[in-house]
Amino acid sequence: QVHLVESGGRLVQAGGSLKLSCAASGGSFNGYALGWFRQASGKEREFVATISWSGSEKDYAGSVQGRFTISRDDAKNTMYLEMNSLKPEDTAVYYCAAGVSSWTRVLSAPELYHYWGQGTQVTVSS
């Protein structure tokens, strides 16, 4: 059982930057692809970014491509989402997730993930 805890969410102005963290306890990230999802108020949860177990493969939603960067540090059992050029439409609760996967596979579908964090609120003011 992997327990995930997100941190780093806060209020930020449009155009600003923020770095979210996702720490694992009760287990390690070994054997897992990792991902970030977000859910805005009144909307469905959507895919943001994913990184393979190897760390070599990454995939992003079109809406964040070029602005967000996902990374992982397995020695620290921590995953990150660096967010730049933030827009008001990035406002949402951000969730991290871990899914059993092969070495270079990335997972963009939420149903492929086994463990989820509780979420951290990111609010971007205009």
Which of 23, 52, 28, 51 has the alpha carbon at shortest distance from 118? Answer: 23
Q: For the chain (length 126 residues), average pLDDT per consecutive 10?
A: 95 98 93 97 97 98 98 97 98 97 95 97 97
pLDDT of residue 27: 87
Residue 83, by phi and psi: left (phi above 0), alpha (psi -120 to 50) or beta?
beta
pLDDT of residue 81: 98
pLDDT of residue 59: 98
